[in-house]
Amino acid sequence: MQTEFIISAGEQPKRLDVFLVHREPKLSRAALQRMITAGWVRVNNQIAKSSQRIRAGDVILLDAPQAAPLRIDGEARPLEILFEDSTCLVLNKPAGIVVHPSPGHWSNTLLNALLDHCARRGETETPGVVHRLDKDTSGVMVVAKTEDAHRVLAAQFEEHSIARRYEALVVGVPVESEGRIAAALGPDRHNPKRTSAETFYPKPAVTEYRVEATFGVAAAHLLLHPHTGRTHQIRAHLQSLGHPILGDKTYGGERVGVWGGEDISRVMLHARTLGFRHPVAGVYREFAVPPPDDFTAMAQTLRAFIAR
C-alpha cells in the first residue's frame, strides 16, 4: 500500500522529513528518516534524502511500513553464468524475475539467487547489483563481487562508457529505417511510475535504433543502442516515437498487450549485448546472448500472421 502526496503551488519549500512528519503524525521523524534511507520514500520516482527540499509539483510516494527481513537470504535458483572470476560475474537474466529485494519482493529475486551461488563457492562478500533490468526484460547483466569492483563498474555506467545493445519487437514500423531519439526524460508529471518527456525534472537521454526486420506494416524488430541509462529509457523513447514495445501496457496501453486474440506474455525487450572494462584487469570484455524462446516465438507469430 502506498500513500501519495502531490505538492501544491502554495506549499513552502521545506525538508522532506519535516513535510512528512506533519502529514504522517503517527510516525516519528526518526522513523520517517529510516524509511527514507531504506528507499521506502520516493520523490518523483527517485530515491530521496531526508534533507531534500520539496518543491511545487513534486510527487511523493510513501510505502506503508511493513516488516523487512533482518537479512536477505540466499535461495537456490539456476543461473546462466557467462563469465565469472573473483571480482565479478556476467549472467543471462531470464524474464520474469525481479533483480533486487524491495517492499513486496523480499524473496525470489535475482539477488537471492546470487547470494546462494556465492555462498556455495565459499565467498563471503555480498554480491552487488551494479545495474538493473526490469522484471520483464531478459538479457546480459554484470554483477560485482567486491566493493572495489562495484565502485569501478558503477563509475563506467555513470560515465556512459558501457556498451549496450537491445532488441525489441514494436508496434508498427518507423518511417526511417534507422534514427536517433534524443528526448530528455524524467518521472511523468501525472504518473511518477512512468518515465516521460512530460516531466518536471528532465535529464538528457539518447537512444539510437535500427530496423532489423519488418512484419508488413504491423510490427518491426528493432536493434537499439541507449547512450544513456535513464529509468525505462528505451520503453519511453519508443512510445514517444509512436512505436511502443509489444506487451508493454504501461507505455502502449491495452492494445499492445494482445496479438491475434492472445495475450502477450511480457514486454518484448531483450538486453542482447553488454561490454565493459574488467574492474581489475582493465581489459574490455563484451558478452552477447540471443533472445529467449518467447521472444523468438513472438517473432515467428508475427511472421506467420503476415504470411497468411
Q: Is residue 134 among the annotated active site residues?
A: yes
Instruction: Report the interhelical angle of 16-23 vs 29-37 (nearest 10°).
Output: 120
Return the number of other C-beta atoms located less than 10 Å from residue 301's C-beta: 17
Q: Identify the DSSP state of 255.
A: G
Report d(CA 194, CA 67) in Å as an integer: 27
Hey, CA dihedral for 158, 151, 115, 142, is it positive or negative? positive
Report d(CA 301, CA 172) in Å as an integer: 15
Q: How far is CA 150 from the centre of its chain?
A: 18
Kind and range of the H or E run holding 267: none
C-beta of residue 232 within 8 angstroms of C-beta of residue 176: no
Report d(CA 201, CA 57) in Å as an integer: 10
Quickly tell me which residue has 520514500 as its cell.
41
C-beta of residue 43 within 8 angstroms of C-beta of residue 58: yes
Question: One-letter amino acid identity for 13?
Answer: P
Question: One-letter amino acid identity for 38?
Answer: A
C-beta of residue 219 within 8 angstroms of C-beta of residue 173: yes
Q: Identify the DSSP state of 272.
A: E
Q: Helices (DSSP H) in 159-272: which residue ranges?
A: 233-241, 249-252
Catalytic pick among 17, 58, 134, 248:
134
Q: Identify the DSSP state of 259.
A: E
Catalytic residues: 134
